[in-house]
């Protein structure tokens, strides 16, 4: 089968297309004929060797994947896997193992859920990790409930638009920072208030304290610490910027949490249900063939990847 993989960490040039043996599923696994994988910044971090995830080399990137079950491994003693050949699936694969930038990939049976039926199967690869990140940030780490207020700093990105939509659906009042380019999309996702970060100081624009500050944007540590003043006493600061500490304010009982997305099959199935119900939109900004993956990684290394990109295989 054809696969894109790297044998050593380094720049985008370490990625190369290879013909490798088609894997056979073991107990508790299925083999998926890949329709698409999705590019995430963490793929570049693992390829570059600066993200502390112990990948097995050589490594096939692409831990978000969609496709169809092609083969089912033998029973592991736990009974029927629940999957049949031909089932359309989407999943968040273990990040340290081979991903979906290949014609076939092995997946644990519990890493997959039925794919949404209202979007193309390839586009479904864009959903898992970014939507799970938004959910976990808002409701697991942020503990948001209906009637509360959230400030989403950096709402114009992929995780941000999911966060806005999910928070609004939960009955949360959403204040979001935007650029002129992302304003319409964030409003369409359900934001109650938007603040143009290019023209307005957030500290002046937010006049009522929020229960949760969710930071999704690169921000200087001093500026991030200043934004904590916008959080009510006893509130929370949640951030996906793992390269720097998330600030808190212990004197006011404001706690901090940094999000590291975790697999959650039940939650992913719920997100798929919301997509099929028309309550959540799968965002795909660009589709590229597998052969262009090294060039996409080069764009990512230069900070030029905008929006969500899926890598077509099938």
- Which pairs from 192-196 meet CB under 8 Å and 24+ separation? 192/168, 194/155
Q: How many helices (H) and strands (E) does the chain have?
A: 8, 15
Q: Judge whether 25 and 83 are in contact, CB under 8 Å.
A: no
| Neighbour-count burial for 110-120, b at 16+ CB within 10 Å, e otherwise | ebbbbbbeebb
The predicted model scores a pTM of 0.95
Question: Hunting for tokens 């097995």 — which residue is that?
Answer: 56
Q: Which residues neighbour 62 within 8 Å (Cβ) at sequence distance 6 or greater?
A: 37, 38, 39, 43, 93, 99, 100, 101, 102, 105, 311
Classify residue 24 as exposed, middle or buried by CB count within 10 Å of its CB (0-12, 13-18, 19+). exposed
Residues 31, 233: Cα–Cα separation, whole Å: 50
Residues 235, 211: Cα–Cα separation, whole Å: 5
Taken in order of first residue, the domains within the chain and their CATH numbers are 2-127+282-312 (3.90.180.10), 130-258 (3.40.50.720)
- Per-residue pLDDT of the chain (314 residues), as tens digits, is 999 999 999 999 999 999 999 999 999 999 999 999 999 999 999 999 988 899 989 999 999 999 999 999 997 655 567 899 999 999 999 999 999 999 999 999 999 999 999 999 999 999 999 999 999 999 999 999 999 999 999 999 999 999 999 999 999 999 999 999 999 999 999 999 999 988 999 999 999 999 999 999 989 999 999 999 999 999 999 999 878 899 999 999 999 999 999 999 999 999 999 999 999 999 999 999 999 999 999 999 999 998 999 999 97
Q: Which residues neighbour 14 within 8 Å (Cβ) at sequence distance 6 or greater?
A: 6, 7, 8, 47
Query: Token digits for 271?
Result: 């997100």
Is the bond preceding 167 in cis, omega lying within 30 degrees of 0? Answer: no
């Amino acid at each position: 089968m054809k696969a894109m993989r790297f044998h050593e960490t380094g720049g985008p040039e370490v990625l190369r297309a290879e013909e490798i043996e088609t894997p056979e599923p073991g107990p508790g696994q299925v083999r998926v004929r890949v329709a698409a994988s999705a590019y995430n910044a963490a793929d570049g971090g693992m390829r570059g060797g600066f993200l502390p995830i112990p990948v097995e080399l050589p490594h096939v990137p692409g831990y978000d994947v969609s496709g169809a079950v092609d083969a089912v491994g033998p029973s592991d003693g736990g009974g029927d896997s629940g999957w049949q050949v031909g089932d359309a699936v989407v999943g968040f694969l273990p990040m340290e193992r081979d991903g979906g930038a290949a014609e076939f990939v092995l997946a644990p049976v519990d890493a997959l859920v039925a794919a949404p039926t209202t979007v193309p199967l390839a586009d479904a690869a864009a959903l898992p990790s970014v939507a799970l990140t938004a959910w976990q940030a808002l409701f697991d780490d942020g503990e948001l409930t209906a009637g509360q207020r959230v400030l989403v700093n950096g709402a114009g990105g992929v995780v941000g638009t999911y966060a806005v939509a999910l928070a609004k659906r939960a009955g949360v009042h959403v204040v979001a920072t935007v650029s002129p380019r992302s304003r319409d999309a964030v409003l369409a996702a359900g934001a109650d208030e938007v603040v143009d970060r290019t023209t307005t100081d957030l500290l002046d624009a937010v006049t009522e304290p929020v229960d949760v500050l969710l930071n999704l944007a690169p921000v200087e540590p001093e500026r991030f610490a200043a934004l904590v003043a916008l959080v009510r006493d006893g509130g929370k600061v949640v951030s996906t910027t793992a390269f720097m500490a998330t600030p808190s304010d212990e004197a006011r009982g404001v706690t901090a949490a940094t999000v590291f997305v975790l697999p959650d099959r039940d939650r992913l199935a719920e997100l798929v249900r919301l997509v099929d119900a028309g309550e959540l939109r799968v965002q795909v900004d660009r589709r590229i063939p597998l052969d262009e993956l090294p060039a996409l990684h080069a764009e990512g290394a230069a900070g030029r990847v905008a929006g969500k990109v899926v890598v077509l295989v099938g």
